[in-house]
């Protein structure tokens, strides 16, 4: 999802999206930039893709992304392997517990993108799983929940070892390796800080 900050900086973050009664619904944590930016200017673009490389770049290689103008909103789109662009405005939101919000986005314009054009590969799914567990791992470490962090790291490790066995393409392998190393470093640092 792309959003715009106060100073015009484009923010991009992977977010799960649901469909509910004509709205596209996201559930961002309230400490995310996505949440902050949506409250600030009410606009977002959903850049729908299945490409795990694009998810990785949205999270950990944001400088590697390029953007192009949208049609109906000021927030730009990602110039990349995107299946659909959905330009949205925020109509309403509510709180989900104390950490999360539920934001109801009304689609105002939709266009087909260049497409993710992926041959089916489990490696794509495994990198996506690694990314999901990496974000959970980061949150557990921030909240000092070391045993949950260790349990989450075993998932990152599992999906990494499965991915390596599949001998994926180079762009996928490079990202998986750096994600694994980054996760391992985070865990080691967290353990050392406790001893």
Ligand X SMILES: Cc1cc2nc3c(=O)[nH]c(=O)nc-3n(C[C@H](O)[C@H](O)[C@H](O)COP(=O)(O)O)c2cc1C
Contact residues for ligand X, defined by CB under 6 A: 11, 13-16, 26-29, 32-34, 55, 59, 128, 131-132, 135
Question: Which residue, 57 or 87, is less far from ligand X as judged by CB?
Answer: 57
Written as six digits, the tokens of 157 are: 């490790």
Rg (CA), the chain: 17
Question: Which residue, 116 or 135, is less far from ligand X as judged by CB?
Answer: 135
Count of H-run helices and E-run strands, the chain? 5, 9
Question: Which residue, 137 or 187, is less far from ligand X as judged by CB?
Answer: 137
Tell me the closest approach of the beta carbon of residue 161 to ligand X, in angstroms: 19
Interhelix angle 122-142/146-165, nearest 10 degrees: 160
Place of tokens 């939709």: 110
Tell me the closest approach of the beta carbon of residue 108 to ligand X, in angstroms: 21
Q: What is the DSSP string of 61-93?
A: -GGG--EE--SSSSSPEE-SS-SEEEEEEEEEE
Question: Which residue, 59 or 146, is less far from ligand X as judged by CB?
Answer: 59
Tell me the closest approach of the beta carbon of residue 142 to ligand X, in angstroms: 11
Tell me the closest approach of the beta carbon of residue 135 to ligand X, in angstroms: 4
How far is it, in rounded angstroms, from Cα 156 to Cα 180? Answer: 7
- Looking only at the bridges linking them, the beta strands covering 84-96 and 23-26 are unpaired
Tell me the closest approach of the beta carbon of residue 195 to ligand X, in angstroms: 28
Q: How many beta carbons lie within 10 A of that of residue 148, not counting itself?
A: 15
How far is it, in rounded angstroms, from Cα 37 to Cα 66? Answer: 19
Tell me the closest approach of the beta carbon of residue 18 to ligand X, in angstroms: 9
Question: Which residue, 71 or 174, is less far from ligand X as judged by CB?
Answer: 174
- Name the residue among 73, 9, 89, 15 with its Cα closest to residue 49: 15
* Residue 144: φ, ψ to 5°: 65, 25
Question: Which residue, 53 or 195, is less far from ligand X as judged by CB?
Answer: 53
């Amino acid at each position: 999802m792309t959003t715009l900050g106060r100073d015009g900086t484009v923010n991009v973050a992977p977010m799960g999206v649901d469909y509910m009664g004509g709205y596209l619904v996201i559930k961002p944590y309230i400490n995310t930039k996505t949440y902050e930016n949506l409250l600030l200017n009410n606009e977002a673009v959903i850049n729908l893709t299945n490409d795990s490389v694009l998810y990785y770049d949205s999270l950990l290689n944001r400088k590697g992304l390029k953007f192009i103008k949208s049609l109906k909103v000021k927030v730009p789109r990602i110039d990349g392997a995107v299946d659909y662009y959905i330009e949205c405005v925020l109509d309403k939101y509510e709180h989900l517990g104390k950490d999360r919000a539920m934001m109801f986005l009304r689609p105002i314009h939709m266009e087909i993108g260049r497409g993710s054009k992926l041959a089916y590969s489990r490696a794509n799914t495994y990198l996506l799983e690694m990314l999901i567990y990496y974000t959970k791992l980061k949150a557990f470490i921030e909240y000092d929940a070391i045993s949950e962090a260790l349990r989450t790291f075993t998932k990152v490790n599992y999906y990494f070892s499965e991915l390596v066995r599949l001998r994926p393409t180079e762009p996928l392998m490079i990202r998986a390796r750096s994600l694994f190393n980054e996760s391992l470093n985070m865990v080691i640092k967290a353990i050392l800080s406790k001893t």
